[in-house]
Each structure stands twice: as structure tokens, then as C-alpha cells.
């Protein structure tokens, strides 16, 4: 495949015209280079297809935008992948880098290596037991969630154990725990005052919901939600639209919003708070939201070190939230680190 040079991508605005979905089907030939094999996943803004190179017969994943517009996602993924690949100091083993770009029905699309199922799909498999590099590049992923983390390989093995009742219990385990973070399309270059609404609603940090400036900490908040979901198989936060309900839900699950953060929220949206009282969030607006108090306590997450990692990742105060570099050194991971 012949990639489109990065310097030419920015001049391809003519490709971003018609807001109509892409129609592909199995067997289609893309630019004489790729054969469409099957659909892998349909997202809100893109469709991922399994494709085969007609020359090498290698199989890849191709992400095709469903709609065109001002989104520079494909070109951004190419540029960031190129920068990461050319860096000699970064460990990029766990990042799915774009291989090349290709135009599909007037849409600039991105080709990746094909990996295993996403953690979202893994969570659906009842029989299976289940971000520092990006930040070093001064980028923020902005959309960490189970659907954007894939297994490097979904090969599995059945392990049998003799239970106390004298019968064998059979569990299917993954052969490898290695993962890849995908979807660099929506990553943001760090700037002092980022205000755009980013990420998937159920994984957004409070500073994003509140319209405050945000930084690298949004990735760690989303990572905390993801770790909790992998452990419990249930989402920590529901998909709720209005800000009052979202923040009140966070208070019920994670504790009171810090006063300095509440003060900033009050300046932007005083209607979130009781008038004439202390800055206490109005929880009466969430009658239809199911709340569970203190779900992060160790009696729910039974491993104290894991519970602590999740708590630090989900700090409502972005200043006190653990960084990705510190999270990798957290005591929870020491058990997985070979002795030197």
C-alpha cells in the first residue's frame, strides 16, 4: 500500500464534504490494494473493517469515517503515529499506531494492524476471566474506555482445577494479558486551557462535565472508570445527559466535590447549587438515577491495593488525581513486576 504523505493530508479538505454514511460490503476492492473481508465494529463516527492486502495477503483493520466534516481525526492519527514511531525514547509496544492512510469513497481512512477483541467485547464473554507514552508526547487521548483498548491477541487456553466437590472446574484464560490502546483520532495536543467537551459521557472527568479547563488527568479518570468496570463488569456511571445529574451521581459514588472545584463550578453555573447555602450540589435533580454509595470501598473491590489505585484515579480534584506515570509505579503492580 502507498501511504498518503503527511504533508499532503492537510490539503485534502475537499474530501470532507458530504455528511452521508459510507456503504461498503464484503468483497469490495479498495483502490486496487485492499479487499474488504468483514465488518469488525461500527462506532458513532467510524466503521472498522477487516481488510486483506491483495499483494501480501496480510490482514489489517481499516477505520473509515462514517461522516465528513471538520474532524481531523484520520490525519491526526497518522501524524501522531509517525511522531511516536520516530521517537527513540518511547516504549510504544502498547499503542496501536496507524500504518498508512487510504482514501475510501472520498473519505480519508486509516489502516492499522489487526488485533484481538476490545475489552468491551471481552466483558461480554462470560466464560473469560478477565497512558504514559501518549502523555510523554504531550498528547491527551481523551477517550479511554473498554471499547478503545484491545487485546494484542485473543488466543485462550482452558485451565481445569479440581474443586472441593471432587469435580473439575474449567475456566478459559487468555494466553497473554498484553493490550493495545487504539483510536488516536480524537487525541488532543496539550494546551494550558482546553475546554472542548471530549470523551464518552460515562467516562468523562468532572472538570469536563463542568466546562472547566482540563488536562492529562481526564485520561486517568477514564482509566479509573475502566479498571472498575473490568473488575465488576458494571459501569461506574450511567449515561446521563444533564450536568447536575452527572455531578450529583459522582458525589454519591465518590464523595463530596472539593470546595475549590465546587467554587469554580459555581462561577460557571450557579444553578447547580442550593441558593443561599454552602456549595452543596442539588441532588434532587437525579430522582431517576440509580445511586450506590461508596462503591469504591474495599468491601466492593476486594483487593485494597486495587481499590486504592481506583480511588486515586477517580479523585474529583484533578490536581490530586494520580498521574499516568505514578499509576504505573503504584504498589498494586508490584506483584506483577519481576524482582531484579
- SS3 track for 240-295: CCCHHHHHHHHHHHHCCCCHHHHHHHHHHCHHHECCCCCCCECHHHHCCCCCCCCC
What is the pLDDT at residue 29?
93
Confidence of residue 23 (pLDDT cuts 50, 70, 90): confident
Confidence of residue 126 (pLDDT cuts 50, 70, 90): low
What is the pLDDT at residue 71?
54
Cα 142 to Cα 54, 71, 190, 326: the distances in Å are 35, 15, 11, 19
Percent of the chain scoring above 70 in pLDDT: 80
Average pLDDT over residues 253-280: 73
Cα 215 to Cα 116, 139, 149, 218, 220: the distances in Å are 30, 9, 21, 6, 10
What is the pLDDT at residue 274?
58
What is the pLDDT at residue 336?
57
Confidence of residue 131 (pLDDT cuts 50, 70, 90): low
Average pLDDT over residues 14-28: 64
Percent of the chain scoring above 90 in pLDDT: 25
* Helices 217-232 + 304-313 axis angle, to 10: 140
Contact 63, 110 (CB under 8 A): yes
pLDDT at 295 over 60: no
Q: What distance in Å separates the CA atoms of residue 238 and residue 236, rounded to the nearest whole number?
A: 7
| This prediction's pTM | 0.72
pLDDT, greater one: 61 or 88:
61
pLDDT, greater one: 166 or 307:
307
What is the residue extent of each domain of the chain? 6-113, 119-325
**pLDDT per residue as tens digits for the range 64-98:** 988 765 456 788 888 899 999 888 888 888 889 99
What is the pLDDT at residue 66?
84
- Lowest model confidence (mean pLDDT) among 26-30, 45-49, 167-171: 167-171
pLDDT, greater one: 192 or 5:
192
Q: Same CATH topology for 6-113 and 119-325?
A: no
Q: Record the cell numbers describing residue 105, joined without a space.
A: 469513497
HSE toward the beta carbon, residue 276, CA cutoff 13 A:
0
Average pLDDT over residues 241-270: 84
What sign has the CA pseudo-torsion 117, 122, 124, 129? positive
- Lowest model confidence (mean pLDDT) among 157-166, 256-265, 283-292: 283-292
Cβ within 8 Å of residue 14, ≥6 positions away? none
Confidence of residue 223 (pLDDT cuts 50, 70, 90): very high
Q: 3-state DSSP: the chain helix, strand, coil percent, rounded to 5?
A: 30, 20, 45
- Class of 6-113 in CATH: alpha beta
**pLDDT per residue as tens digits for the range 135-169:** 888 888 999 999 999 888 888 777 777 777 778 77
Question: What would the CATH number be for the domain defined by 119-325?
Answer: 1.10.510.10
Amino acid at each position: 500500500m502507498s501511504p498518503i504523505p503527511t504533508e499532503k493530508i492537510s490539503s485534502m479538505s475537499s474530501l470532507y464534504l458530504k455528511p452521508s454514511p459510507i456503504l461498503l460490503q464484503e468483497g469490495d476492492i479498495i483502490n486496487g490494494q485492499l479487499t474488504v473481508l468483514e465488518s469488525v465494529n461500527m462506532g458513532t463516527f467510524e466503521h472498522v473493517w477487516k481488510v486483506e492486502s491483495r499483494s501480501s495477503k496480510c490482514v489489517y483493520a481499516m477505520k473509515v469515517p462514517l461522516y465528513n466534516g471538520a474532524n481531523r481525526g484520520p490525519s491526526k492519527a497518522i501524524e501522531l503515529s509517525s511522531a511516536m514511531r520516530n521517537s527513540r525514547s518511547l516504549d510504544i509496544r502498547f499503542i496501536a499506531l496507524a500504518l498508512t492512510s487510504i482514501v475510501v469513497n472520498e473519505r480519508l481512512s486509516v489502516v492499522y494492524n489487526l488485533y484481538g477483541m476490545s475489552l468491551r467485547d471481552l466483558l461480554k464473554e462470560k466464560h473469560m476471566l478477565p497512558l504514559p507514552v501518549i502523555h510523554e508526547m504531550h498528547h491527551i487521548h481523551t477517550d479511554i474506555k473498554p471499547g478503545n483498548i484491545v487485546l494484542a491477541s485473543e488466543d485462550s487456553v482452558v485451565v481445569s482445577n479440581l474443586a472441593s466437590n471432587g469435580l473439575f472446574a474449567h475456566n478459559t484464560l487468555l494466553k497473554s494479558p498484553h493490550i493495545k490502546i487504539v483510536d488516536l483520532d480524537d487525541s488532543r495536543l496539550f494546551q494550558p486551557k482546553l475546554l472542548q467537551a471530549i470523551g464518552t459521557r460515562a467516562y468523562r472527568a468532572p472538570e469536563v462535565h463542568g466546562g472547566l479547563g482540563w488536562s492529562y488527568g481526564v485520561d486517568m479518570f477514564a482509566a479509573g472508570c475502566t479498571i472498575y468496570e473490568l473488575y465488576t463488569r458494571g459501569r461506574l456511571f450511567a449515561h446521563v445527559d444533564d450536568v447536575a445529574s452527572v455531578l450529583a451521581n459522582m458525589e454519591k459514588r465518590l464523595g463530596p466535590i472539593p470546595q475549590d472545584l465546587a467554587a469554580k463550578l459555581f462561577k460557571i453555573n450557579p444553578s447547580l447549587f442550593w441558593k443561599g447555602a454552602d456549595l452543596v450540589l442539588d441532588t434532587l435533580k437525579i430522582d431517576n438515577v440509580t445511586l450506590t454509595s461508596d462503591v469504591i470501598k474495599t468491601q466492593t473491590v476486594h483487593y485494597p491495593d486495587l481499590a486504592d489505585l481506583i480511588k486515586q484515579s477517580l479523585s474529583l480534584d484533578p490536581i490530586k488525581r494520580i498521574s499516568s506515570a505514578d499509576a504505573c509505579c503504584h504498589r498494586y503492580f508490584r506483584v506483577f513486576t519481576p524482582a531484579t
